[in-house]
Amino acid sequence: MARVLNVDPGFNPDNLLTLRMMPPDNTYDKARRRVFFDECLTRVAALPGVRSAAITYAIPIGGGQQWGAEFYAADKPIPQRGQFPHMEFTPVSANYLEAMGIRLLRGRWFNSADVATSSPVTIINDALARRIWPGEDPLGKRLKRGLPENDTPWLEVVGVVADVKVYGFELITPMQTYVPLAQLPPPSFWLTVRTAGDPLQSVAAVERAIHSIDKDLPVFAIRSMDQLLGSSRAQRLLTLVLLVSFAALALLLAAVGIYGVISYSVKQRTRELGIRMALGAQRGDVLKLILTQGLKLTIIGVVIGLGAAFALTRWMESLLFGVRPTDPLTFAAIVIVLLSVALLACWLPARRATKVDPLVALRSE
């Protein structure tokens, strides 16, 4: 879970509001969508407390299914059928990548010149650049969405951005391209709004700005990015809580068991311990004797347990992230924790054994 929490999502999630809209196809053609996009961004960005507003077909970390397609590059051999690489492609407003805090690695952002009548362009992520053009400069290269017989246009690469976690923190980042919203207006879209304070406090004002353009347009899936990130981590967090709870219970039962066995053994050996102390045994010798007995049992159990864990942890590999099933640090920590708990469980009855009065012990049956 610590590794998951430290994963870089590839964008800045702070103070970010997300909400979705789906204009009806019968009243919103491509031209009207473009007009709506411009008006929406202008009015929302002008609201008090709003730092930026952008539109995208899909947001990162589980924010809707991305568009996906096969593709190929103009300067590379055309792959055989069934072997075309796959990419996700996302129409975004000109300011989306910059507004989301996605890092530009090379090239440029989209700008106001990237319109429906201009040459088709794209910005790709670093994963695609490394996979298709390893060791090369991808700027100026061209790629085409779909198969060779499709009539989709060639897209010129004008920028490369850092990888963004698309479907979740733990999944491999796919190859991804971004295209200008004006060149490929989607049927549905998300509005992202970065605010100066709590983004949920701006929901009412943002909705009013949208409905001032179209009062009948439904706005739904209103959440902050923090809520989306929390939902993405919720299943792993639940698994963590359950495993920690069961592990703590097992550790407690083991400690109680060791304590009970050693306490019973000390009681059974009261006469023996009294004789030893009467003959000159020091309290430290008695303490060492009892601790050695308990730790010997513990070490045997730890060795058996580690062997079983080494063989069985492969079955829980799907629950791990950034940690190998046989991680040496984890196994070392297990040994230290178990021996520490066992030592404490043995020390309490051992300490009581050192306080045995030899005269009382010799008179006992």
Two tokens, residue 333: 């920590």
27: enclosing H helix or E strand:
none
Of residues 159, 194, 152, the one with CA closest to residue 178: 159
Q: What is the DSSP letter of 67?
A: E
Of residues 113, 111, 145, 107, the one with CA closest to residue 126: 107
- Per-residue pLDDT 10s for the chain (365 aa) are 888 888 889 999 999 999 999 999 888 998 999 999 999 999 999 999 999 999 999 999 865 567 889 999 999 999 998 899 999 989 999 999 999 999 999 999 999 899 999 999 999 999 999 999 999 999 999 999 998 888 899 999 999 999 999 888 888 889 999 999 999 999 899 999 999 999 999 999 999 999 999 999 999 999 999 998 888 888 888 888 998 999 899 888 888 888 888 778 777 777 777 777 777 778 788 788 888 888 888 888 889 988 898 888 878 887 788 788 888 888 898 888 888 888 888 888 777 777 766 666 566 55
Beta-carbon neighbour count of residue 159 at 10 Å? 19
Distance CA 160, CA 327 (A): 36
Of residues 59, 354, 73, the one with CA closest to residue 231: 59
E strand segments, 31-149: 50-56, 67-73, 86-92, 104-107, 121-125, 142-145
Dihedral sign for Cα atoms in the order 335, 338, 344, 345: negative
Identity of the amino acid at 187 = P
Distance CA 168, CA 100 (A): 17
Distance CA 105, CA 116 (A): 25
Return all residues near 246 (Cβ < 8 A) that are at least 6 apart.
none
Return all residues near 180 (Cβ < 8 A) that are at least 6 apart.
91, 92, 93, 94, 110, 114, 115, 121
Identity of the amino acid at 225 = M
108, HSE (Cβ side, Cα atoms, 13 Å): 11
Of residues 232, 240, 229, 234, the one with CA closest to residue 320: 240
